[in-house]
């Protein structure tokens, strides 16, 4: 890995994904601190396929950089030097949602609702602009409760993974979040992202995946045929309406899901607004990310209670 890419000087590594790494970096022209994602196209593609991958990358990066939404990471710049492609983004603080998928680290239901609604807003915006994410999963959503921030990352990157996947015949990345139509290689639209968000919500609420399999073939069969489990059975006390929303998202046929992110966001906010305030937690927890930053907040709706998973009450407790 070079220590400099164009005008960007690489600092600490922030994380690794399937095809590349994310570094903190700064722009030597103005000192601006950014995040830079590098993708080693040269090790994934060669010859004609490499040229095609570069063209595709630039096209996707440009589409992603046109998306401007408070809940979507800003893409500032992109480029490639023949074998290495890079995407410069605003540097995000906080953690990605994969930190909240273990039983001991689950977020309160109210936080999951608030985050889910904002991811749905972000998807609605992207879909309205003709961009399908294709790789919605916990690692691609960063949250920072201190800043009341939810950011969906990696718009446009997944198409490249798809191309690489097709070339090698392997499934890169995680197929666990893919819709039945995406796994089957059929054409997809925004409703495929909504399915993936359904898997993410299911996991954030129960610490389990709705479908699994020891092999790819088993997983694909489960996703294609098995009905999704009822999230309420894994997290007793979950509002019925929320379990229903998740079931709708996990419908096999896209036409049975929400038509778009707007209507999903509306329903998630409705569920949040109807969640009964409990005696041990006064006031509305409908917007816990906001509450943390000093917005609407009752005397006992302590911020730490809200986001750090120090859950109280039935819906926030896991069985066992």
135 is catalytic: yes
Q: Which of 148, 154, 251, 306 binds Mg ion (CB under 5 A)?
A: 154
Stretch of 91-99, 113-121, 124-132, 268-276 lying at the interface with ligand ATP (CB under 6 A): 91-99
Stretch of 15-23, 112-120, 233-241, 301-309 lying at the interface with ligand ATP (CB under 6 A): 15-23
Binding at 29: pick from ligand ATP, Mg ion, none (beta carbon under 5-8 Å per type) = none
Stretch of 124-132, 133-141, 190-198, 232-240 lying at the interface with Mg ion (CB under 5 A): 133-141
Alpha helices in 207-260 (DSSP H): 216-225, 231-234, 240-249
Footprint of ligand ATP on 23-42 (CB under 6 A): 35, 37
Q: Please give the Cα distance from 195 to 247 (Å, whole number).
A: 10
Footprint of ligand ATP on 178-217 (CB under 6 A): none
Phi-psi region of 314 (alpha: psi -120 to 50; beta: other; left: phi over 0): alpha
Q: Which long-range contacts (CB under 8 A, 24 or more apart) does 69-72 make?
A: 69/121, 69/122, 69/125, 69/126, 71/118, 71/119, 71/121, 71/122, 71/125, 71/150, 71/151, 71/152, 72/122, 72/125, 72/126, 72/151, 72/152, 72/155
State the catalytic residue, choosing from 71, 121, 135, 148: 135
Binding at 35: pick from Mg ion, ligand ATP, none (beta carbon under 5-8 Å per type) = ligand ATP
Residue number, 95 or 284, with CB nearest to ligand ATP = 95
How many CB atoms within 10 Å of residue 295?
A: 11
In the stretch 119-148, what mask flags binding to ligand ATP with x, by CB under 6 A?
A: ----------------x---xx--------
For 310, counting Cβ atoms within 10 Å of its Cβ (0-12 exposed, 13-18 middle, 19+ buried), the class is: exposed
Give the footprint of Mg ion on this chain (CB under 5 A).
17, 140, 154
Give me the residues that bind ligand ATP (CB under 6 A), please. 14-20, 22, 35, 37, 73, 89, 91-92, 96, 135, 139-140, 153-154, 173
């Amino acid at each position: 890995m070079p220590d400099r890419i164009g005008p960007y000087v690489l600092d600490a590594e922030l994380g690794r994904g399937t095809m590349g790494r994310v570094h903190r970096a700064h722009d030597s022209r103005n000192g601006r601190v950014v995040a830079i994602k590098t993708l080693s196209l040269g090790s994934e593609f060669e010859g004609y396929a490499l040229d095609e991958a570069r063209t595709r990358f630039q096209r996707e990066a440009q589409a992603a950089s046109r998306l401007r939404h408070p809940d979507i990471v800003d893409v500032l710049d992109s480029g490639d030097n023949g074998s290495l492609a890079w995407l410069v983004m605003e540097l995000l603080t906080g953690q990605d949602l994969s930190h909240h998928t273990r039983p001991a680290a689950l977020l309160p239901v109210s936080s999951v609702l608030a985050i889910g609604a904002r991811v749905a807003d972000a998807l609605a915006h992207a879909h309205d602009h003709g961009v399908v994410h294709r790789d919605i999963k916990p690692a691609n959503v960063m949250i920072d409760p201190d800043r009341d921030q939810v950011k969906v990352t990696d718009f446009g990157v997944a198409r490249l993974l798809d191309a690489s996947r097709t070339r090698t015949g392997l499934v890169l990345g995680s197929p666990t979040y893919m819709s039945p139509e995406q796994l089957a290689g059929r054409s997809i639209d925004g409703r495929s992202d909504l399915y993936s968000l359904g898997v993410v919500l299911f996991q954030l609420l129960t610490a389990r995946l709705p479908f699994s399999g020891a092999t790819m073939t088993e997983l694909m069969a489960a996703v294609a045929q098995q009905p999704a489990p009822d999230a309420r059975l894994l997290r007793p006390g979950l509002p019925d309406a929320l379990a229903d929303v998740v079931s709708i998202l996990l419908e096999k046929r896209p036409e049975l899901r929400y038509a778009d992110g707007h209507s999903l966001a509306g329903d998630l906010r409705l569920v949040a607004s109807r969640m009964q305030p409990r005696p041990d937690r006064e006031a509305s927890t409908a917007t816990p990310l906001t509450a943390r930053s000093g917005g609407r907040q009752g005397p006992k709706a302590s911020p730490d209670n809200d986001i750090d998973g120090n859950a109280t009450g039935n819906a926030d407790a896991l069985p066992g």
